[in-house]
């Protein structure tokens, strides 16, 4: 029996993603982004994102089906991000997915955006070892998750208590006069800088702090104050050194906590995911520390780390294979859907 063909819809933020997957095989990953429309605001504007999803949805579906070389009638199941994310943006994806599921008379699976970031790794590296630990870092989330069963059980161990890592990158980039989103320009600038030039703080690393939670608000403020002091004194700001030192502080905390969580829970597989997982220093330091600790590190390609429809289809495929019941037709969006709810 051939594995089911699943189409996945992702609209939780500013990327309109439609992916087509058969089992663990990626057939298509079509993407439309509205990031350029948000750039002048220095962040994502929910109303603009929702309207952009509306405009991009049908052409993106057509592109994905053409890329996969399949017809709509070939689809066996429809998966869609039900949360967490921007409510208005989520509703566009849900409306589209419901329409296709109804028109094709196929089951609908509303999935968790964070669990989908873990599932996408299976498209590149095959079935996930269970249990695994997942470190998800993006513009909206920084989470450490224990994954005993990707289709049914995901347990949060730690999260950011204030700014997500990606948010801190965007804010530091703004301080340094870099464009939005801030991750790629900081990564590029950091290559020319000294990561040990400035000793920026590492939040929540004291003996009494929550072992797996992270905090980047203090780090972001420390960078802004350091830059401000240099400018006030009429001294040049060494942008490359600031970028490298800030990036090092983020990567240091995230990888140290992830490795500690693996050791504490007796888990020897770590998955790195989310948009910030495309950062070159985070990937390199994770590789170095996992190798030293005897942990197998799995990192999807940078394109699969950022939001996309393939990750939603991948999780949908896993749910179908595990025999999980489909969602009800009145499935709604949940902007703060907890990661424990893999599907709803």
Is 316 marked within a binding site? Answer: no
Is 139 marked within a binding site? Answer: yes
Quick count: other Cβ atoms within 10 Å of Cβ 106? 20
Instruction: Write down the pLDDT at residue 143.
Output: 96
* Spacing of C-alpha 108 from chain mean position: 22
Q: Three-class SS of residue 108? A: strand
| Residue 163 · residue 218 · CB < 8 Å | no
Is 307 marked within a binding site? Answer: yes
List alpha helices for 136-232, DSSP H.
165-175, 183-190, 217-232
40-65, pLDDT tens digit by residue? 888 889 999 999 999 999 999 999 99
List alpha helices for the chain, DSSP H.
35-38, 46-68, 87-104, 113-119, 122-125, 165-175, 183-190, 217-232, 239-265, 280-293, 302-305, 309-322
Is 187 marked within a binding site? Answer: yes
In the sheet that 108-112 helps form, which strands lie side by side, from edge to edge? 25-33, 15-22, 5-10, 77-83, 108-112
Backbone φ and ψ of 5, nearest 5°: -95, 120
Is 102 marked within a binding site? Answer: no
| Residue 30 · residue 64 · CB < 8 Å | yes
Is 170 marked within a binding site? Answer: yes
Topology alike, domains 5-120+308-322 and 129-304 = yes
Q: Is 81 left (phi over 0), alpha (psi -120 to 50) or beta?
A: beta
Greatest Cα-to-Cα distance within the chain, rounded to the nearest angstrom: 71
Domain boundaries, the chain: 5-120+308-322, 129-304
Is 136 marked within a binding site? Answer: yes
Quick count: other Cβ atoms within 10 Å of Cβ 105? 7
Q: What span, in angstroms and rounded, lies between the C-alpha atoms of 269 and 150?
A: 14
Is 266 marked within a binding site? Answer: no
Instruction: Write down the pLDDT at residue 19.
Output: 98
| Residue 198 · residue 226 · CB < 8 Å | yes
- What is the third-level CATH fold of 5-120+308-322? Nucleotidyltransferase; domain 5 (3.30.420)
- What is the third-level CATH fold of 129-304? Nucleotidyltransferase; domain 5 (3.30.420)
267-295, pLDDT tens digit by residue? 999 999 999 999 999 999 999 999 999 99
Instruction: Write down the pLDDT at residue 139.
Output: 83
> Cβ contacts of residue 37 below 8 Å, gap of 6+?
45, 48, 52
pTM for this structure? 0.95
Q: What span, in angstroms and rounded, lies between the C-alpha atoms of 173 and 221?
A: 12
- ∠ CA 115-170-212, rounded to 5°: 45
Instruction: Write down the pLDDT at residue 305.
Output: 94
| Residue 143 · residue 159 · CB < 8 Å | yes
Instruction: Write down the pLDDT at residue 292.
Output: 98
Is 241 marked within a binding site? Answer: no
Q: What span, in angstroms and rounded, lies between the C-alpha atoms of 85 and 91?
A: 10
Q: Which residues of the chain have pLDDT under 50?
A: none
């Amino acid at each position: 029996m051939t594995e089911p063909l699943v189409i996945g819809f992702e609209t939780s933020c500013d990327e309109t993603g439609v992916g087509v997957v058969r089992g663990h095989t990626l057939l298509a990953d079509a993407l439309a982004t509205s990031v350029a429309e948000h750039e002048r605001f220095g962040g994502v504007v929910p109303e603009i994102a929702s309207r952009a999803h509306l405009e991009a949805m049908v052409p993106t579906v057509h592109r994905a089906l053409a890329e996969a070389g399949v017809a709509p009638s070939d689809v066996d199941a429809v998966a869609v991000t039900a949360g967490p994310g921007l409510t208005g943006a989520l509703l566009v994806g849900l409306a589209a997915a419901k329409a296709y599921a109804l028109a094709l008379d196929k089951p609908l699976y509303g999935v968790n955006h964070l669990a989908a970031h873990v599932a996408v790794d299976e498209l590149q590296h095959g079935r996930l070892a269970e249990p695994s630990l997942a470190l998800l870092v993006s513009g909206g989330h920084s989470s450490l998750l224990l994954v005993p069963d990707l289709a049914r059980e995901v347990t949060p161990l730690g999260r950011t208590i204030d700014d997500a890592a990606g948010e801190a990158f965007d804010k530091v980039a703004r301080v340094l006069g870099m464009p939005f989103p801030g991750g790629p320009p900081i990564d590029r600038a950091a290559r020319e800088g000294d990561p040990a030039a400035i000793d920026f703080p590492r939040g929540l690393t004291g003996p009494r702090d929550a072992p797996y939670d992270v905090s980047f608000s203090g780090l972001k403020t420390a960078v802004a104050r350091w830059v401000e002091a240099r400018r006030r004194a009429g001294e040049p700001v060494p942008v490359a050194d600031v970028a490298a030192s800030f990036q090092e502080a983020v990567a240091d905390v995230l990888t140290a906590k992830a490795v500690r969580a693996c050791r504490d829970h007796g888990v020897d597989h770590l998955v790195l995911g989310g948009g910030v997982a495309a950062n070159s220093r985070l990937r390199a330091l994770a590789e170095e520390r996992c190798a030293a600790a005897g942990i197998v590190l799995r990192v999807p390609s940078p394109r699969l780390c950022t939001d996309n429809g393939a990750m939603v289809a991948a999780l949908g495929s896993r749910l179908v294979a595990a025999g999980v019941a489909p969602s009800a037709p009145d499935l709604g969006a949940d902007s703060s859907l907890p990661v424990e709810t893999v599907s709803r």
